[in-house]
Chain A
Amino acid sequence: MTSPRESPAPATPTFRKTLIRVMAVQVGAVLLLWLLQSHYTP
């Protein structure tokens, strides 16, 4: 058995920035879908 504490490397600052970008892009995508829906669906 191994301890989970043996796991390497926590997320780097660069990776954290990337994650924030990913989530921002997804929020943008959902917003676009909502705009498409609200504009064209009566």
Chain B
Amino acid sequence: MHALDWIIVVVYLAYVGIDGIRRTRRSTEIEGYLLANRSLPWWAVGLSVMATQLSAVTMIGTTAQGATDGLRFIQFYFGLPLAMVIIGVTLVPFLHGAKVYTAYEYLERRFDAKTRSLTAFLFLISRGMSCGTILAAPGVVFASVFGWPIGLTVAIMGAPTVLYTVMGGVQAVTWADVKQMVLVVTAIAAVITVALLKLPVSPDDALRIAGSVGRLRALDFHFDLTQQYTFWSGVIGGTFLMMSYFGTDQSQVQRFLTAKSVDEARSSLLISAYWKIPLQAAVLLVGVLVFVFYLFEKPPMLFNPAHDRRAREAEPARYQALAAQYGAALADRDAAARGIAAHDAAATRDAFRAAETRVEGVRTEALALAERVTGEPSKDVNYIIPHFVLFDLPVGLTGIFIAAVMAAAMSAVAAELNSLATASVIDFYRRWVRPVAPDAEYLRASKVATALWGIFACVIATYAVSLGSLIEVVNRFGSFFYGSILGVFLLAMIPKARALGAFVGLIAGMLAVGAVNFGRPDVAFLWHNVIGAVTVVVVGLAISSLSRRAVVASR
């Protein structure tokens, strides 16, 4: 990477750290530290909501998904606008109006302490782990690309994030998110522009070439529960997932609790409702354009440089044979793609698809070689965009994109650390350990909790590769209760619901999702949220009704 790119990255990291520390003076009491005294403008809160949801996985993984699978992932977000609308008229007035610090605190006011503690505990487990994986994703990629130890790449992103989150609290997190969102959008727009300018064909031809291999297939109207991304799983399952994430997950709820009023909180969510789908479409389009770009520029056979080196060194003869086949297949594909640009017809499209299949066939063999040599999973889709950024973007823009990836990771992690600390202190320390204490003590406890969660996230990220299966288990476990927690909050809005119904319903919802997950593993995970939420509401209302009758009968 060029010196100018390094300067951009270093200046950005220093700026975010220093600016966060500057905000310490406005966070001298607990409400200021955790909720910014409910004083932030809607647009800053709205950008923070978006930044929290947009992590480095989006910048590296979603763009790569665009390159390999096209636009179909966009359907995942189809439920988001509707979810924002529903949250705006239901959960936002409840939670903002209740003047709570955490979403779970409201559950105790409505139901009881055990429902609150269980939901808060589930949040701490899943978010604590996911915080580590958010840092690990770019950490692993940067470690391989730059040849650094993963501990160093995690520390480069983790240290400034923990520093500004501990010192500045939610104010620092929100204002850093605003800057990070601006940087991310700038980087995406710049990459799309550069990719279009560098293509040897017109944008119209580029889209026709991408379309000929299904990369522009964004909508699938088949109603199939086993298909991960369809229009219906996005609209129905996605609505439940997004309602659960944006309406009941403390990492998101805490964003809109910092808004000045209920209407400002609602408006902040509408920013995502308006812009999330276009932004994600742009992210996926980056991947599609990179795919087209590499039809005319020779891509590496293996995008992961560490695996490429080890495969070449361990089995040079086999590697060279595959490289020769790969070169020939690429030349055919290049000619076929130019054929579509010159004359778009069924025959040229068929020739291009056949050439693309040959290229992918050689790559599959090369990936198998890498897996055999390294003993590690060799899927290298997450290295496609870093390769493009490092070798094919102009100097300066490479630095901006790398900084944007780091920014995306940092903004997502900062919000999670902040919310983890809030739930730890408000839902456990203040609730069970020290119900009455000076404000300064809660503030100190919040800072300590933020730092401890930050260290925990960095450790998980550093050992993410060896902890892989554990993290997968936790993430899978997390998917069991996302819809169920939403169900509890929906029950909270139904006057007939009672505490016992909510608690039993929550357990029943998680068991139902677990049963579907193990009994019918082919059901797409987006439907789990629907199953969980509906089970909680149905069981919760049934138990509430029974418990009411029991009380009446006992009188």
Contact = CB atoms under 8 A, between A and B. Distances in A.
A41 to B, nearest CB: 5
Contacts of B109: 1-2
B214 A11 contact: no
Interface stretch (B79-87, B148-156, B542-550): B79-87
Interface in B271-289: 273-274, 277-278, 281
Interface in B243-281: 262-263, 266-267, 270, 273-274, 277-278, 281
Given A1-B112, A4-B94, A7-B93, A22 B85 contact: yes
B263 A19 contact: no
B492 A4 contact: yes
Contacts of A14: 263
A36 B216 contact: yes
Q: How large is the interface on A (under 10, 10 to 19, 20 to 34, 35 or more residues)?
A: 20 to 34
Contacts of A25: 81, 274
B207 A40 contact: yes
B97 interface: yes
B536 to A, nearest CB: 16
Given A33-B74, A33-B218, A42 B211 contact: yes
Contact of B211 (A8, A11, A23, A40): A40
Contacts of B78: 26, 30
Given A1-B111, A23-B82, A42-B211, A18 B492 contact: no
A9 B259 CA distance: 16
B285 to A, nearest CB: 10
Given A37-B216, A40-B210, A8 B93 contact: yes
Nearest to B350: A42
A40 B218 CA distance: 11
A39 B210 CA distance: 12
22 contacts: A1-B112, A7-B93, A7-B94, A9-B262, A12-B263, A15-B89, A15-B266, A18-B270, A19-B88, A22-B84, A22-B273, A26-B78, A26-B82, A26-B273, A29-B277, A33-B218, A36-B207, A36-B216, A37-B216, A37-B218, A40-B216, A41-B211
Interface in B33-50: none
Interface in B483-525: 492-495, 499
B85 A19 contact: yes
Contact of A4 (B88, B208, B349, B494): B494
Contacts of B214: 41
Given A22-B270, A26-B277, A37-B216, A7 B97 contact: yes
B23 interface: no
Interface of B: 71, 74, 78, 81-82, 84-85, 88-89, 93-94, 97-98, 109-112, 207-208, 210-212, 214, 216-219, 262-263, 266-267, 270, 273-274, 277-278, 281, 346, 349, 492-495, 499
A24 to B, nearest CB: 10
A36 to B, nearest CB: 6
A42 B23 CA distance: 55
Given A40-B208, A40-B216, 10 more contacts: A7-B94, A11-B88, A11-B89, A23-B82, A25-B274, A26-B82, A29-B277, A36-B71, A37-B71, A42-B346
Contact of B85 (A4, A7, A23, A34): A23
B499 A1 contact: yes
Nearest to B204: A40
Contacts of B277: 26, 29
A2 B497 CA distance: 12
B507 to A, nearest CB: 20
B97 A9 contact: yes
B298 to A, nearest CB: 25
Contacts of A18: 267, 270
A25 B349 CA distance: 34
Contact of B218 (A4, A10, A22, A36): A36
A42 B211 CA distance: 7
Nearest to B78: A30
B69 to A, nearest CB: 14
Nearest to B266: A15
B164 to A, nearest CB: 32
Contacts of A36: 71, 207, 216, 218
Contact of A33 (B94, B112, B210, B219): B219
Contacts of B217: 37, 41
B81 A10 contact: no
Contact of B281 (A2, A3, A33): A33
B349 A42 contact: yes
Contacts of A2: 98, 109-110
Given A2-B110, A8-B93, A22 B263 contact: no
Nearest to B108: A1
